[in-house]
Structure 1
Amino acid sequence: MQDDDFSLFKSEIRGVKPIQHDRADTGKPKADRARIATLRQAATVREGSLKVDGLSDQFVIDVGPEDALNWARDGVQEGQMRKLKLGQISFEGSLDLHGMSVEKARDTLWEFIAEATKLEVRCVRITHGKAVRLDGKRPMLKSHVNTWLRQHPQVLGFTSCLPKHGGTGAIYVMLKRTMLDGRDE
């Protein structure tokens, strides 16, 4: 019976060639988990993607070129806003957004306010321009800045500037100061 098994085995392996090397093929190399994690991270942070900064463009408040802007967070004293409007709170920093795209202006504004907050600056001026457009549409940057500042957690209030500081093409922005918590609101 063993001879029958052996002859059956020989007939089954007829035409099979012996392996020329003694190393086993283990299939695909194991995935480099660290490299894959890096690639996944890079894929989620694409150039031109929106930064998660809390500033929404879902609903932009349209304003006209000559419209005066004025807004205050709940709890901000009217006297402080009156002083801001009269230019009696001096601004310690200034940002000009003229000629920037909406996305570039958004990033620049976010970074500017973050830096001003870090330096404990009380008031800044932001020049957005009036952008009187030939197509008759509302000024885009002015409308976006007006909307974004209302959403920014560090902004207590803002108002259009005096004519000597840009008039309705710029705004004074009053910021929270973290070291002096309680005094600002």
Structure 2
Amino acid sequence: MQDDDDFSLFKAATAGIKPIRTERADTGKPRQDNQRLAGRRANATTRVEQTRIDGLSDQFVIDVGAEDELYWARDGVQDSQMRKLKAGQISFEGSLDLHGMTVERARETLWDFLAEAAKYEIRCVRVTHGKAARLDGKRPLIKSHVNTWLRQHPQVLSFSSCQPRHGGTGALYVMLKRTMLEGREE
């Protein structure tokens, strides 16, 4: 009789328990790792949602030196306009300073600035990227990226390093496309 009572007690004690389906043993990993992993997953998801698609690629950054003069124009931009831009004869209506920013922050700021300039039909702006003489001896990071991004931006017609009074090789005059607002004469 005692065997029946033990069996009944065991059956009552294990009611609702499911058998283990795996042959792996619990190694006793600390729960803290699971929480940290869950946190990393959440942060990764958040960062993906914050990533902006702006058409600017960092895959092939054109490496430039601190004192290198930058000069670029899309096909169709007149040589006379480029001479005027390089000479600082086209007045700039807006200015942006990217000093001290991370590459990603500079990218976002530049994109927003150019969008704002296009919205107001601005013809020419100045972008100060700096020369960033780096301690590790590498080329200027922001200057190299700005040089690459401006070539990719759909609103940019051309750019040239500034005259010394406007920042020299640490800044650019940037000529932008204009769509000519209705009713505006030029």
Question: Structure 1: which 5+ residue stretches go unaligned?
Answer: 1-42
The residue aligned with 1:122 is 123
Alignment partner of 1:115: what SS?
helix
Q: How many residues align?
A: 140
The residue aligned with 2:46 is 46
Q: Percent identity?
A: 76
Alignment partner of 1:124: what SS?
strand
Distance 1:87 1:135, change over 3 A: same
Residues 23-57 of structure 1, C-alpha deviations (whole Å, 9 max, x = no match): xxxxxxxxxxxxxxxxxxxx997336431100000
The residue aligned with 1:57 is 58
Letter in structure 2 aligned against 1:86: A
Letter in structure 1 aligned against 2:89: Q
Question: Structure 2: which 5+ residue stretches go unaligned?
Answer: 1-42
Answering whether residue 123 of structure 2 is matched by residue 131 of structure 1, we say no
Residues 97-127 of structure 1, C-alpha deviations (whole Å, 9 max, x = no match): 0000000000000000000000000000000
The residue aligned with 2:37 is none
Pairwise mapping of residues 157-172 of structure 1 onto structure 2 (< 5 A)?
Answer: 157-172=158-173
CA RMSD of aligned residues (A): 2.0
Residues 43-98 of structure 1, C-alpha deviations (whole Å, 9 max, x = no match): 99733643110000000000000000000001100110100000000000000000
Structure 1 residue ranges (4+ consecutive) displaced by more than 2 angstroms after TM superposition: 43-50
The residue aligned with 2:108 is 107
More helix by share: 2
Pairwise mapping of residues 1-185 of structure 1 onto structure 2 (< 5 A)?
Answer: 46-47=46-47, 49-179=50-180
Letter in structure 2 aligned against 1:68: E
Q: What is the Cα deviation at residue 180 of structure 1?
A: 6.7
Mapped to 1, the partners of 2:169 and 2:45 lie a distance apart of 36
Mapped to 2, the partners of 1:61 and 1:50 lie a distance apart of 23
Letter in structure 2 aligned against 1:103: E
Letter in structure 1 aligned against 2:74: R
Q: TM-score, normalised by structure 2?
A: 0.72
Mapped to 1, the partners of 2:88 and 2:124 lie a distance apart of 10
Mapped to 2, the partners of 1:86 and 1:54 lie a distance apart of 30
Alignment partner of 1:91: what SS?
coil
Mapped to 2, the partners of 1:164 and 1:44 lie a distance apart of 45
